[in-house]
Amino acid sequence: MRQIWKSFRALYFASLMMLIGSGLLSTYLALRLAADQVDGLWVGALMAANYVGLALGGKVGHRLIGRVGHIRAYATCAGIVGAAVLGHGLIDYLPAWIVLRMIVGLGMMCQYMVIESWLNEQASPRQRGTVFSGYMIASYLGLVLGQLILVVHPQLGPELLMLVALCFTLCLVPVAMTRSIHPAPMRPAPLEPLFFMRRVPQSLTTVLSAGLIIGSFYGLAPLYAAQQGLSTEHVGLFMATCIGAGLLVQGPLGKLSDRYDRAWLIRGAAGLLLLAGLPLAIFPSMPIEAVFVMGFLASLLQFSLYPLAVAFSNDHVEGERRVSLTAMLLMTYGVGASIGPLVAGVLMKQFGSNMLYAFVCLTALMLVLRVRPKAVTNLHQVQDAPLHHVAMPDSSASSPLVVALDPRVDEQVVQDQMQNPNEPGYVAPVEAEPVAESPERVVPSGEGVVRPVAVVDEVSAVVSADAARDVGVDRPL
């Protein structure tokens, strides 16, 4: 682990600074509008615009990276995001803020794509799980630290926007200073929506619901906490507590997911979320201690839905389709995260701040009714289904290229499906010598069956000729 940290600390630091800035910006904008007594609809619209930008950034990022290379694309987007952040302090016109928020989301998605493709290029197949875990920890830690800044500096002045811009400036340094060659250019993962709607409808429903809930949470939970009478520093502490719950739950969730039926776990998590969020939804105001406790419990459960849905869907999709599956899941999540803040914002405007958790409870109830474990026939459960649960970041902290880091997905499949042979400077991958498989081991699955898994070591490296000419050296990051 120490060697991995030493090899990837620059990229982890870049991710950490990006998420500190992103987390602080989301909460700052919500609190700033609450202080100006702007209704929740505008707050929800800002978060929806951010997710629309993230969705658009997936398309723009591939083209930009393929055109100018990874380092130039990252530097360009970091500069644009920093300028857009400072633009919030220069303009008080709310429709302009929506445009700026969309630009921030678009630029951050391009930055995610550069970091994730670089991590995948540098990591060997045996390291991908550990590298992926480090990336997850850096992302969640950044979101938590962004909230804790408000505890230290509760004044909602322009200096917080300067601090966000400072984070996006600092995240540029380790990438701009690297001496390693660019990763290979990637093209968008293929989408097969009709196939996945037929094959994994309950997983897609869960991912959509997770997007509705978590998108609303990131955008409107600071407004909810402020309207509950919490001070700025207490709002920051509340958000840090809830986001920290998302990190804490991943370990126990993985053990449960590997031991029990994942469809029942999804339904159970949704049912418990309904119960945990009900007091926050019913009572217009609650003591601060109750807000923290119930918010923490609700967050433990709401941040469980997306990883469970990803693991459940991977059990029923063949290996060669898992790149497309990840793209489909992220798109579905983005749709939900764009709609959720708008709907919840309207409800909060009409009926009060507690409608945020009323919306969460309603979505959880829909999930309880929609996910039917007895309807899972296992007819399409594949023999080589990944058996271990892997904590997955949502699209607020990842890009479509995160599939390349997922240790459950065969690296060669990623290269075959996402490498673009039409890109300038493309170099065909060199076929590696076949590696003998080790003896099979038997691992129990989360669906109650036992299947053999062959442990195969793979190494593949594809580099861009144009990028190599740009940098000229090939030392590690």
Task: Between 268 and 437, name the one with better pLDDT.
Answer: 268
Q: Is residue 151 part of a domain?
A: yes
Cβ 354 vs Cβ 281: under 8 Å: yes
Q: Is residue 253 part of a domain?
A: yes
pLDDT tens digits, one per residue of 213-242: 999 999 999 999 999 999 999 999 999 999
> Does 182 have pLDDT greater than 80?
no
pLDDT tens digits, one per residue of 282-294: 998 889 999 999 9
Residue-range definition of the domain harbouring residue 65: 2-418
- The number of distinct structural domains making up the chain is 1
How high is the pLDDT of residue 143?
Answer: 92
Task: Between 186 and 383, name the one with better pLDDT.
Answer: 186
pLDDT tens digits, one per residue of 75-100: 999 999 999 999 999 998 999 999 99
The bridge status of strand 441-444 relative to strand 450-453 is antiparallel
Q: Furthest-apart CA pair in the chain: how many Å? A: 66
CATH number (domain holding residue 393): 1.20.1250.20
Cβ 64 vs Cβ 110: under 8 Å: yes
Q: Is residue 475 part of a domain?
A: no
Q: How far apart (Å, rounded) are the C-alpha atoms in residues 8 and 405? A: 13
Nearest to 340 by CA among 207, 216, 210, 205: 216
pLDDT tens digits, one per residue of 290-321: 999 999 999 999 999 988 888 888 777 776 67
Q: Is residue 462 part of a domain?
A: no
pLDDT tens digits, one per residue of 1-35: 666 677 788 888 999 999 999 999 999 999 999 99
Nearest to 239 by CA among 145, 137, 139, 305: 145
What is the percentage of the chain residues whose pLDDT exceeds 90? 43
Q: Is residue 54 part of a domain?
A: yes
| Ramachandran category for residue 448: left, alpha or beta (phi over 0 → left; psi -120 to 50 → alpha) | left
Nearest to 340 by CA among 47, 74, 7: 47
Q: Which pLDDT band holds residue 118 (cuts at 50, 70, 90)?
A: confident
How high is the pLDDT of residue 191?
Answer: 73
Cβ 295 vs Cβ 155: under 8 Å: no
Report residue 328 as tokens.
């489909």
How high is the pLDDT of residue 449?
Answer: 34
pTM of the model: 0.80
Q: Is residue 243 part of a domain?
A: yes
pLDDT tens digits, one per residue of 440-465: 333 333 333 333 333 333 333 333 33
Q: Is residue 445 part of a domain?
A: no
Q: Residue 450: in which H helix or E strand, if any?
A: strand 450-453
Kindly state the average pLDDT of the residues 419-424.
Answer: 48
pLDDT tens digits, one per residue of 324-358: 787 788 888 989 999 999 999 999 999 989 999 99
Give the mean pLDDT of the chain: 80
Q: Which pLDDT band holds residue 394 (cuts at 50, 70, 90)?
A: low
Q: Is residue 448 part of a domain?
A: no
Neighbour count for residue 461 (Cβ, 10 Å)? 13
